[in-house]
C-alpha cells in the first residue's frame, strides 16, 4: 500500500506504524468519566468491513500522525489527513 | 460407515462402489435446540462434542460457504501446548491430550504427527524466559525440555549456529507438539457430528439474530429464518461483523496472517522450528514443502490477502535462521483472517443476551485449540457453566482487570 502523505506525498506503508481506529483520538476525560468509559475506549472496537478511519504513525519519516481512510475489504485509501487537524476538528486542543 | 484397512481392501475388491459421502447435505429445519454459527474447525468440533459428550443431537451448523473454507484450511497446521500463563496453559494442554486421541475418537485419519517443536534461544534473558515457560508447561502436565546448543545441533545441524548477531544458544523443546493435516480435522469432525444427527448446512449465511426481550430466539439466514433455543457463534476472523448484528462491540480487530509453502524438497526439517530473534516458524509437510510464516500484516483488514513487506520480512527471518533455504522457490502463499484480541487470548463466553454464546478472538493460534475449544464451548452451551480450563476466557476480563496477556503488550492487538 502507498499512503499519500499530506506533506510528503506518496510514501510506502513500510515506513509507517499502524496504531488503530481513529476513535483512539477521543480519550475520555479522566476527571469526568468512569471506569466503563475507559474500558470501552481502550478495548472495544467497531472493526468494520468497509470504510475504516485509522491512525498511522510515520516513524521512518517525519514522525507525523496521520488519519487514513481506507477500505478494509479492498485496501483502497480514499483520504489521508494530519491527525492534528482531525483532532482539532473533533474539539481537542492539540 | 467405519473406515479401516479392511474396508479399503473390501472396496478395492468390489470396485470401490461402497463409498458414501462422509456427511449429508440437509435442508435447514425450522427449529433446532442449538444452532452453531460457523462451519470451521471450532464450530464443527463444538457440534461434535455437543452430540457426543452432552447428548445434544438436535443441532445445526450453519456455514456461509463450504465447511473448512476458512481458517481451518489456511493455517500452518502446528499443534503445541507451550504457553506460560495460568489462564492459557491448562486449556492448551487439554487440547494437546485431545489431539493425541483424536483419530481413534473420530475414526478418521487426520495425520496427527507429534514431531516436536523447537523454540530457539539466542541470548541469556531468553533462556531464563524459556526455562520459566518450560516449568509452567510441566506444572500443567505438559512436556518440556531445555536443550543446550549441542543438543540442538544434533537435531538440526543445518541451522546458522554461528550467526554473528543471533547465535543459537539452545532451545525449549516440546516433543509432543507437532503438525496435523488441517482439512482432515474439519472433515473428521463434520463426519463425526453428522453421524450423530447434527445437520451441517452449507451456503447458509447468518444475516441477523432474532432477539426479543434480551433473549436470542434464533437467526435470520439466506435460507430463511431458523428458530433455536440457543445460538453459539463461532466465526473467528469475522466475529465483529457477525456480533454487530446482535448489537455487540467486541475487544477484537480483524487482521490478516500470511502463510507460505515452498516447492517440495527432500526431508530436511524434522519437526517445527521457531526463530527466537525474529518472527519465523517452519515445518515440513509430508509432501516435502516447507510450510512457514511469521508476523501478521498489522493493520485492520477483511481482505484475506497480505502485503509484500511482510513477505520480505518472513523470508529474511528464514534466511537468517537457515541460509540453505535461499535457493528454494516459494510455491504458494495466502492469507487468513484472524480475530486479534486486546490481550492475545481468546473468548469462550456467554453474552449479555440470553441464549447467545460467543467463541472467538483466537488470534493466530486457533488451530491447535480446535479440540479443546469445541469441547469447552460445547460444555458452556450445554450446561451454562464454563469448563474449568476455559473459565478465564471471559468477555469482561478487561473490565475486571484480568487480561491474559502472554506477551505483555497491553491493549494493542497488532503487537500480540
With 90 as the cut, is the pLDDT of residue A94 above it? no
Which residues in chain A have their CB less than 8 angstroms from residue B303's CB? 72-75
DSSP state of A59: T
Are residues A45 and B414, on separate chains, in Cβ contact within 8 Å? Answer: no
Q: Residue B339: what pLDDT? A: 97
Chain A residue closest in CA terms to B342: A43
pLDDT for B373 beyond 90: yes
pLDDT tens across B58-67, in order? 999 999 999 9
pLDDT (tens digit per residue) in B251-289: 999 999 999 999 999 999 999 999 999 999 999 999 999
- What is the distance in angstroms between the Cα of B41 and the nearest Cα belonging to chain A? 23
Contact B362, B252 (CB under 8 A): no
Q: Is the pLDDT of residue B84 over 90?
A: yes
pLDDT band at B243 (very low <50, low <70, confident <90, very high): very high
Q: Does residue B173 contact residue B125 with C-beta atoms inside 8 Å?
A: no
Would you call B252 and A45 a contact, using CB atoms and an 8 Å cutoff?
yes
CB contact under 8 A, A47 and B253: yes
Contacts of B202 (CB under 8 A, 6+ apart): B25, B39, B63, B65, B66, B67
| Residue B349 near residue B393, CB atoms below 8 Å | yes
Determine the pLDDT at residue B12: 96
Per-residue model confidence (pLDDT) at position B266: 96
Q: What is the mean pLDDT of chain B?
A: 97
- Taking the Cβ of residue A40 and every Cβ of chain B, the question of whether any pair is shorter than 8 Å is answered with yes
pTM reported for the whole predicted model: 0.96
Confidence at residue A65, expressed as pLDDT on a 0 to 100 scale: 97
Task: Give exposure, B219-248, as e/b (b: 16+ Cβ within 10 Å).
Answer: bebeeeebebebbbbbbbbbbbebbeebeb
Fold of domain A2-89: Folate-binding fold (3.30.2270)
pLDDT of residue A68: 98
* Residue A93, pLDDT score: 81
Angle (CA) B192-B197-B201 rounded to 5° is: 85
* pLDDT at position B155: 96
Contact A74 B301 (CB under 8 A): no
Of A12, A18, A35, the CB nearest to B299: A18
Chain CA centroid to CA B330, Å: 24
Across the range B12-32, mean pLDDT stands at: 96
Confidence of residue A92 (pLDDT cuts 50, 70, 90): confident
User: Percent of chain B scored above 90 by pLDDT?
Assistant: 99
pLDDT confidence of residue B1 = 86
Mutate to test the interface with B, among A33, A40, A47 (most CBs of B within 10 A): A47
Interface test with chain B among A14, A33, A43, by most B beta carbons within 10 Å: A43
Tell me the pairing of strands B31-37 and B224-233: parallel
What average pLDDT score do residues A31-55 get?
A: 96
Give the three cell numbers for residue A48.
468494520
pLDDT at site B325: 94
Count CB-CB contacts under 10 A for residue B290.
22
According to the model, what pLDDT value does residue B81 have? 97
Contact state of B413 with A39 under an 8 Å Cβ cutoff: no
Average pLDDT score over chain A? 95
Percentage of residues of chain B with pLDDT beyond 70: 100
Q: In the prediction, which pLDDT does B77 show?
A: 97
**Is pLDDT of B146 > 90?**
yes
With cut-offs at 50, 70 and 90, classify the pLDDT of residue A30. confident
3-state SS assignment for residue A31: coil
Query: Cβ of B249 and A40 within 8 Å?
Result: yes
pLDDT the model gives residue B416: 93
pLDDT tens-digit map of B199-237: 999 999 999 999 999 999 999 999 999 999 999 999 999
Among the ranges given (A26-30, B340-344, B348-352, B393-397), the one the predictor scored with the smallest mean pLDDT: A26-30
Q: How many CB pairs under 8 A join A and B?
A: 68
The B-side interface with A (CB below 8 A) comprises 238, 240-241, 244, 249-254, 298-303, 307, 309, 342, 398-399, 411-414
Q: Report the complex ipTM.
A: 0.96
Written as nine digits, the cell of A71 is 477500505
Helix/strand/coil (H, E, C) string of chain B?
A: CCCCHHHHHHHHHCCCCCCCCCCCCCCCCCEEEEEEECCCHHHHHHHHHHHHHHCCCCEEEECCCCCCCCHHHCCCCEECCCCCCCCCHHHHHHHHHHHHCHHHHHCCCCCCECCCEEEEECCHHHHHHHHHHHHHHHHCCCCCEEEEHHHHHHHCCCCCCCCCCCCCCEEEEECCCEECCHHHHHHHHHHHHHHCCCEEECCCCEEEEEEECCEEEEEEECCEEEEEEEEEECCCCCHHHHHHCCCCCECEEEEEEEEEEEEECCCCCCCEEEECCCCEEEEECCCCEEEEEEEECCCCCCCCCCCHHHHHHHHHHHHHHCHHHHHCCEEEEEEEEEEEECCCCCEEEECCCECEEEEECCCCCCHHHHHHHHHHHHHHHHHCCCCHHHCCCCCCCCCCCCCCCCCCCCCCHHHC
Torsion angle of the four alpha carbons B152, B157, B159, B162, in this order, in degrees rounded to the nearest 10: 90
Q: How large is the average pLDDT for residues B131-160?
A: 97
Amino acid at each position: 500500500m502507498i499512503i499519500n502523505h499530506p506533506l510528503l506525498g506518496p510514501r510506502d506503508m513500510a515506513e509507517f506504524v499502524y496504531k488503530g481506529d481513529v476513535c483512539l483520538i477521543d480519550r475520555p476525560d479522566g476527571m469526568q468519566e468512569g471506569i466503563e468509559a475507559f474500558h470501552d475506549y481502550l478495548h472495544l472496537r467497531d472493526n468494520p468491513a468497509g470504510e475504516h478511519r485509522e491512525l498511522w504513525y510515520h516513524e521512518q519519516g517525519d514522525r507525523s500522525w496521520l488519519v487514513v481512510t481506507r477500505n478494509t475489504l479492498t485496501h483502497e485509501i480514499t483520504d489521508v489527513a494530519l491527525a492534528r487537524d482531525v483532532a482539532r476538528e473533533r474539539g481537542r486542543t492539540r | 460407515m467405519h473406515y479401516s484397512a479392511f474396508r479399503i481392501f473390501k472396496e478395492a475388491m468390489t470396485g470401490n462402489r461402497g463409498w458414501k459421502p462422509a456427511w449429508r447435505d440437509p435442508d435447514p429445519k425450522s427449529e433446532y435446540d442449538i444452532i452453531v454459527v460457523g462451519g470451521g474447525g471450532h464450530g464443527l468440533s463444538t457440534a461434535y462434542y455437543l452430540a457426543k459428550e452432552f447428548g445434544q443431537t438436535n443441532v445445526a451448523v450453519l456455514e456461509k460457504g463450504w465447511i473448512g473454507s476458512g481458517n481451518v484450511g489456511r493455517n500452518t497446521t502446528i499443534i503445541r501446548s507451550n504457553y506460560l500463563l495460568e489462564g492459557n496453559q491448562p486449556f492448551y494442554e487439554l487440547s494437546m491430550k485431545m489431539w493425541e486421541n483424536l483419530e481413534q475418537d473420530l475414526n478418521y485419519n487426520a495425520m496427527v504427527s507429534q514431531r516436536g517443536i523447537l523454540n530457539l534461544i539466542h541470548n541469556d534473558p531468553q533462556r531464563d524466559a524459556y526455562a520459566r515457560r518450560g516449568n509452567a508447561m510441566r506444572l500443567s502436565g505438559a512436556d518440556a525440555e531445555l536443550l543446550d546448543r549441542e543438543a540442538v545441533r544434533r537435531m538440526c545441524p543445518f541451522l546458522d549456529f554461528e550467526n554473528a548477531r543471533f547465535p543459537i544458544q539452545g532451545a525449549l523443546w516440546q516433543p509432543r507438539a507437532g503438525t496435523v493435516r488441517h482439512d482432515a480435522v474439519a472433515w473428521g469432525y463434520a463426519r463425526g457430528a453428522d453421524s450423530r444427527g447434527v445437520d451441517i448446512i452449507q451456503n447458509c449465511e447468518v444475516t441477523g439474530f432474532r432477539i426479543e426481550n434480551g433473549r436470542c430466539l434464533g437467526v435470520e439466514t439466506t435460507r430463511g429464518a431458523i428458530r433455536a433455543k440457543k445460538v453459539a457463534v463461532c466465526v473467528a476472523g469475522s466475529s465483529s461483523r457477525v456480533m454487530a448484528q446482535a448489537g455487540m462491540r467486541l475487544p477484537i480487530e480483524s487482521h490478516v496472517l500470511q502463510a507460505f509453502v515452498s516447492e517440495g524438497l527432500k526431508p530436511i526439517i524434522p519437526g517445527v522450528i521457531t526463530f527466537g530473534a525474529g518472527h519465523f516458524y517452519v515445518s515440513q509437510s509430508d509432501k516435502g514443502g516447507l510450510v512457514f510464516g511469521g508476523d501478521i500484516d498489522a493493520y485492520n483488514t477483511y481482505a484475506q490477502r497480505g502485503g509484500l513487506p511482510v513477505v520480505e520480512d518472513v523470508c529474511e527471518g528464514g534466511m537468517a535462521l537457515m541460509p540453505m533455504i535461499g535457493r528454494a522457490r516459494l510455491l504458494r502463499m495466502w492469507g487468513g483472517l484472524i480475530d486479534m484480541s486486546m490481550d492475545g487470548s481468546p473468548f469462550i463466553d456467554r453474552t449479555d443476551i440470553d441464549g447467545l454464546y460467543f467463541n472467538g478472538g483466537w488470534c493466530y493460534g486457533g488451530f491447535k485449540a480446535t479440540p479443546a475449544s469445541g469441547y469447552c464451548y460445547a460444555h458452556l452451551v450445554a450446561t451454562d457453566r464454563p469448563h474449568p480450563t476455559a473459565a478465564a476466557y471471559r468477555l469482561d476480563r478487561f473490565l475486571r482487570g484480568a487480561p491474559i496477556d502472554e506477551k505483555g503488550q497491553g491493549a494493542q492487538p497488532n503487537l500480540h
